[in-house]
Homo-oligomer: A and B are copies of this chain.
Amino acid sequence: MPNELPASIREAGDLLRAGRLTSLDLVEACLARIERFDARVRAWVMVDADGARAQARRLDDELHKGGPRHPLHGIPIGIKDIIDVEGWPTLAGSRLRAGHVARQDAPIVRRLRAAGAVILGKTVTTEFASFDPPPTRNPWNLERTPAGSSSGSAAAVALGMCMAAVGSQTGGSITRPAGYCGVAGCKPTYGLVSLSGIVSLAYHMDHPGPIAPRVSDLAIMLASMAGYEPLDPFSVDVPVPDYAAGLERAAPPRLGLMTGFFRDAASDEVRAVVAASIERLRAAGATVEEMPPPASFADVIVNHRRIMGIEAAEYHRANFPARRSEYGPQLASLLDEALATSVLDYAAALKHKEQFTRDLEALAGRYDALVTPATTTTAPTPETTGDPRFNAPFSYANCPTVCFPCGVARDGLPVGLQLIGRHWGEGPLLAVSAWCERAIGFAARPPLVAECDT
């Protein structure tokens, strides 16, 4: 059954435990899709087919003898190529990293392996998780971008080249690719998932998180990725609940639909699909109240870029501007801008970040979740990776977000909803998101996938 793939990790797990499917079957199905699509989509930097088969065989054997380790047991996943996997290069989309080989797994990879995930390969990232367009194309339309920076992770999941992938977000790099590619994504609270062994873009706002077909898959992935790492100074010691176990939520949620910029900057297509989704949520019993972002939102976009640029420039100071020509034009321009920024503006931006975070937290506390479109538009043509401005505010505020597809726009491209929660509220946020995903009842598949089913 190499060409069939269960629709979710949970479904795959049921089949694996029932002996109706093996991890090797899943790996072969993913490899077949990579074989079939990746020359066109270019989601992968490297695929370790033989290694994945060997991992799958061991995990099948272990499952047979002692049962599953975790709901991820035997599930093939991709790892964004800014994250260290032992023995593999971490190229981060940059020629500056040529020759790099990771000495050990990043803690999140170690955690995923320990949960029984099969590490299939590395997915394409934009250069240093920034904005210069990657080679990857959108599975829904090869003339469109999958977005960045977790370009390969989102495209691979959308095509069933893996059942989930690790991405990361500093601006909009999980939610935007997930939105453009019609899959789900979660950017957790800053500090929940360790940054160790991951190439940094901006250390105050870097958030690794999962990309997967469905919200329930995000819960399974996140429960495995999250957890305190004492050697990572940014990791926070908080309890990690079993997010997947908490997904069944009885009561319809109370949602705060953000207006102002989050309505005005959306394209007509996106607005129409989101409006229809909100109607479905209301029809299913949700309370949806419209409310503007906090007043401090006004300075968020400028300050977010300022902090991102300066922290990136600090990370790259050994190479930039000395090796300027080896940087992509957009990243180079961000770094140039940063180097010309006053230290006082950075101090003020970090202070403002705390103010906005507090203001957003107060607003979020009035609802089960805040809601916005996942992206301003559907996927644009691939000269850019698209507009992160619906996502960057929540990277800036370090709060958790979940997105999932809610419809297809008139242009045939998927549209997503973004739900925003309070710090450390991943559990309730995933539960509300799963409720909304069920209420909207949209199951998105890129047209390309149909090739596999014939």
Contacts and interface: CB of A to CB of B under 8 A. Distances in A.
Interface stretch (A151-159, A325-333, A346-354, A427-435): A346-354
A344 B233 contact: no
A203 interface: yes
Contacts of A351: 203, 233, 314
Interface string A297-315: 0000000000000110110
Contact of A343 (B234, B343, B354, B357): B343
By size class, the interface of chain A is 20 to 34
A341 interface: yes
A347 B350 CA distance: 10
A334 to B, nearest CB: 14
Interface in A170-225: 203
A358 interface: yes
Given A341-B343, A342-B343, A343-B343, A357 B233 contact: yes
Contacts of A355: 233
Nearest to A234: B354
Contact of A230 (B338, B343, B350, B362): B362
Contact of A310 (B233, B317, B343): B343
Contacts of A347: 310-311, 313-314, 346
Given A342-B343, A343-B338, A348 B314 contact: yes
A310 B348 CA distance: 10
Contacts of A344: 310, 313-314, 317, 339
Contacts of A310: 343-344, 347
